[in-house]
Structure formats: structure tokens, C-alpha cells
Amino acid sequence: KTVDNGRVSTNLTPAGWNHLYSGKVRDLFEPASPSTDVAGAGDAMLLVASDRVSAYDYVLSPGIPGKGEVLTRLSLWWFDNLDVPNHLVASHAPGEAGHAALPAEVADRAMLVKKLDMFPVEAVVRGYLTGSGWKEYQQNGTVCGIPLADGLQNGDRLPEPIYTPAWKAPMGEHDENISFERTVELIGGDDAAAVRDLALSIYTKAAAIAEAKGLILADTKFEFGRDPDSGDIALADEVLTPDSSRYWDAQAWTTGETPDQRMASFDKQIVRDWLTQIWDMTGTPPELPADIIERTSHRYRELLERMTR
Ligand code: ATP
Ligand code: MG
């Protein structure tokens, strides 16, 4: 079966698995037969990160070589280094059950996870002012409705990290920034508070780990779900990858003079900048040129090396 989401095919459904869903970047599979023993996990899913790249919710073509592997390896590294319940069904270290259960053809880009009841909330945390936050701040002095002090510049560190949730729109629709109160309406007060507190504490811990490696974690997005068996909330999806986060070089941030120099990104900012320069966001997005692909691919790999070495 060919998984063709938008314009980049991954063309793989591993033997023993059925295609369940394809998002912009990841393809999800479930065991073809319920009796398949998947590392002893109840309701397991295979989460395969493709090389597809999306910007402003458009899937672009062609993909970024090695990107799916970088996203997966970095997520696994963070799950290992964060002391938070997560959706992995077993350790994915070579030789362990999680790793052994991965189909060979996707082994370096796949995670074996427990299927959770996902909260329709993207738990965004921002420690620095940039992107859409910077735009809103220039207009209203706020970020997602949260008032901030006057006089901040693009790329500045915020006095403290802020939680700016978004509603996870169904496939094809754009995610929408919402207030904390709205998340209470969506998922209830207890879970809304738990998700917010987890997101802020994971961000704070991760930012300190990144900083020790000379990297600034400017902002990030987490997704959480509830384990249907235990009832516990677990960290799901990808975590702290360059797709879900903005990473900058700490040295450049300290010494850089222009915003571009300060925010030397290890993510798809190269793609975003190129796209907004040459395209008016109507019709079909243009093909990514070879030099943009190569620079982006290189930045993704560099981040993985710096973070995990
Ligand atoms: P969309 O869901 O709008 O397509 P997306 O483009 O971000 O979003 P991907 O990131 O490519 O989608 O696909 C991953 C999908 O898997 C997301 O919908 C995410 O919420 C979901 N997901 C991640 N972990 C789990 C889990 N443990 N259980 C159930 N769903 C999960
Ligand atoms: Mg996603």
C-alpha cells in the first residue's frame, strides 16, 4: 500500500502492520492481527517519521533526506532523558524489546508506542519571543493574549516561560491558538492544569539540558494523552525535535547583532524563510530547491549530534 499524504510518498507499509493514518510528517500503523505480539504492548501503534517537511501546514516536496531518522532518534533520546511517563511501550535501545519489535525497513525512523486517548490540545511553551509571538507582540504587546513587558526585541528571552496552548484542529484545518480557559472547556479543569504544568516543567528541564550543550530551546510543543488502561497522562508524539521546537545556537544568540544572527536556527526556519520570500501562499507551493534541502538536512543532523553527543 502506498501512503501518499500530499506529495511525498513513503511507499511503505511494513509486513504485519496496517496503515491507520498519515499526518503531515508521520505515518501511523497498527498491528495487522490483534494477536500479534508487539513487545507485550496492549494497543500498540507504529509511529513512522517520514522525510516529509511541512511549513505553515503545507507539506512540501521533495523531502529532507535523513529527517525522519533525526526526529526519531532525538525523540527517543529525550524520552530517555526526561523523567516523565511517555507512550513508548518498551525501551528502544539496541537489543531491547522495543527495538527488536521494529520492522527492519523502518527501524531507524520508527517508534513503537501505546495508543493513547489524545487531548486535542497542543501544549506550546515559549521561553523566547519570536515567530508568530513576535508579530502579535509588535501589534498588541501580547503573545497569545498574554501581556508582556514593553521594549522586548525579536529573539529576546522572556522573563519566564509562558504556556500558549493551541487547539489541535482535525486533519487539513489549521491549528488555532486558544486561551487556557478554552482548554479547560475542552478537556476539563484538572487535565488542563495537569497538561499545562507538565508542559512548563518539561520545557524548563529540557531548556537547561539544551543550554548545557550550547543550545537555546526557544519554544516547543508537546502532545499528551491518557493511557486508556491506567488512566494516567503520558507524554506522546515526538518530543523536542526540530519540527516541534525552535533551537538556536547559544553562542550566536549571545554575540549576534541582527535578529538573523541571534537566532541561528537548527530547524526548518531555512525552509520557512525561503518559502515566504518566493511564494504568496496561494495555489500549490513551489518545489524545494536542492540547496535549501541540503542546508536543512545538514542543520537537522547537526542538532542531533550536538544534543546527543
Ligand atoms: P494531524 O494529526 O493534524 O495530521 P500532524 O500533521 O502533526 O497532525 P503527524 O505529526 O504527522 O500529524 O502524525 C502524528 C499523529 O499521531 C498526530 O495526530 C498525533 O497527535 C498522533 N499521536 C502521536 N502519539 C500518539 C499516541 N501515543 N496515541 C495516539 N495518537 C498519537
Ligand atoms: Mg505532529
Span 38-45, mean pLDDT? 71
Read off the pTM.
0.92
Q: What is the pLDDT of residue 289?
A: 97
Q: Which helix (DSSP H) or strand (DSSP E) does residue 211 occupy?
A: helix 189-211
Of the listed ranges 39-48, 135-144, 246-255, the least confidently predicted one is 39-48
**CB of residue 3 inside a 6 A radius of ligand 1:** no
If one residue of 10, 28, 232 were mutated to test the ligand 1 pocket, choosing by the most ligand atoms within 8 A of its CB, it would be 28
**CB of residue 116 inside a 6 A radius of ligand 1:** yes
Q: Ligand 1: which residue has its CA nearest to atom 24? A: 237
- Please state the atom number of ligand 1 nearest to the C-alpha of residue 223: 20
Please give the sequence-ordered ranges of beta strands (E in DSSP) within 16-72, or none if there are none: 17-22, 26-31, 44-49, 53-55, 58-60
- pLDDT: is 91 or 39 the higher one? 91
Span 134-163, mean pLDDT? 96
**CA 257 to ligand 2 centroid distance, Å:** 33
**CB of residue 87 inside a 6 A radius of ligand 1:** yes
- Please state the atom number of ligand 1 nearest to the C-alpha of residue 234: 27
Helices and strands (DSSP H and E) totals, the chain = 9, 18
Band (pLDDT 50/70/90 cuts) for residue 3 is: very low
144, pLDDT greater than 80: yes
CA distance 219 to 60: 23
Q: What are the start-end ranges of the H helices in 82-163?
A: 97-100, 131-140
41, pLDDT greater than 70: no
- Please state the atom number of ligand 1 nearest to the C-alpha of residue 87: 27
> What are 164's three cell numbers?
500558549
Condensed to tens digits (0 to 9), the pLDDT of residues 46-57 reads 999 999 999 988
**CA 163 to ligand 2 centroid distance, Å:** 18
Q: Is 248 left (phi over 0), alpha (psi -120 to 50) or beta?
A: beta
**CB of residue 123 inside a 6 A radius of ligand 1:** no
Q: What is the pLDDT of residue 12?
A: 76
Other C-beta atoms within 10 Å of 65: how many? 14
- pLDDT: is 98 or 207 the higher one? 207
194 class by beta-carbon count within 10 Å (0-12 exposed, 13-18 middle, 19+ buried): middle
**CA 230 to ligand 2 centroid distance, Å:** 24
**CB of residue 223 inside a 6 A radius of ligand 1:** yes
- pLDDT: is 41 or 75 the higher one? 75
Band (pLDDT 50/70/90 cuts) for residue 4 is: very low
- ipTM entry: 0.94
- pLDDT: is 281 or 171 the higher one? 281
Condensed to tens digits (0 to 9), the pLDDT of residues 68-99 reads 999 999 999 999 999 999 999 988 988 888 89
Q: What is the pLDDT of residue 94?
A: 85
Q: Ligand 1: which residue has its CA nearest to atom 12? A: 23
